[in-house]
Amino acid sequence: MSDYILPIKINIKTKMKQFTIKITCKDEKGLVYRISEILLENGLNIIKNDEFVDNEKALFFMRTEVSGIAEPEKVIEQLKKQLGDCSIELSQNEYKKVVVLVTKEHHCLADLLIRNQFKDLNFNILAVVGNYEKLRELTEKFNIPFIHIPAENITREEHEEKIKIALQDYNYDYLVLAKFMRILSPDFVKDFEGKIINIHHSFLPAFIGANPYKQAFERGVKIIGATAHFVTNDLDEGPIIYQDTIKVSHSKTAKDLAKMGKDVERIVLANALKLVFEDKVFIDGNKTIIFE
């Protein structure tokens, strides 16, 4: 288990009024009391607290919202000393900074741009990166930079290197794949572990490749859905954040299924991002612990 993580760079002299602490450690008696005692000693008031114990792994997960005036580095140091081998994430309750990656489909990007415009989610879109120009006009209507990085006639690694170079201009917290239809290499994923979120239809692995909704129609499926997950080297098999389904009948055409599927995808992605951006998600191996 790693020492501790500070997703947001915080100066030791910074005074905070409200922030969230996420702790993962070995389960043992008295943890809530010992953690609460340290928070109290630092003048912090607990606003909300959630805990979960994975009995099979003997792991303890705790998410705590606190308010007050404290030195965050001091709080983390005391918690680390008290808990030993643990993972601690501390974040201020502020908007997460996001770069969105796209290809040609507009439905997820359009939904995110509108939510960003009206602050329906706890995030700010810094830029959109696309391997086609198709979504530039849509993006720039919202006064957000669109970066075109074509993938033709170059290797996947060369294309990803160009993306990495473009990302260096932005201080972001997460990458969101809003129907970015390219397989990412292990090296790319490794550099952004736990920071890439993807959305895809829930037919996988049944209907792979082009026209999944046509395949589903021909098979006579009765439900369609979507899955949002963190990206790992196992294609579309990373820790799941959010899923949903809707029922369909024989009266629906393949075109109807595709339209309904896009609606599910954008809603599932938005719900997943809400959970992540509000610091309610823990990654535990290939699954997630979520405090809603």
Cα end-to-end distance, the chain, whole Å: 24
Neighbours of 227 (CB within 10 A): 25
Enumerate residues 6+ apart whose C-beta is below 8 A from 102: 108, 109, 128, 129, 130, 135, 178, 179, 180
Q: How far apart are CA 221 and CA 203, in angstroms?
A: 10
Distances (CA, A) of 107 to 103, 148, 180, 214: 11, 19, 12, 18
Among the listed residues 236, 256, 263, 284, the single catalytic one is 236
- Tokens 């951006």 sit on residue: 277
- Helix-strand-coil split of the chain, %, nearest 5: 30, 30, 40
Q: How far apart are CA 41 and CA 137, in angstroms?
A: 53
Q: How far apart are CA 161 and CA 147, in angstroms?
A: 14
Q: How far apart are CA 59 and CA 61, in angstroms?
A: 7
Examine the residue annotation and report whether 236 is marked as an active-site residue of this protein. Answer: yes
Among residues 37, 6, 7, 23, which one has the least CA distance to residue 80? 23
- For residue 167, the SS3 value is helix
- For residue 258, the SS3 value is helix
- Tokens 């990373």 sit on residue: 238
Query: From the DSSP assignment, how many helices (H) and strands (E) are in the chain?
Result: 8, 13
Q: How far apart are CA 197 and CA 273, in angstroms?
A: 8
β-pair type (281-284, 18-26):
unpaired
Question: So which residues are the catalytic ones?
Answer: 236
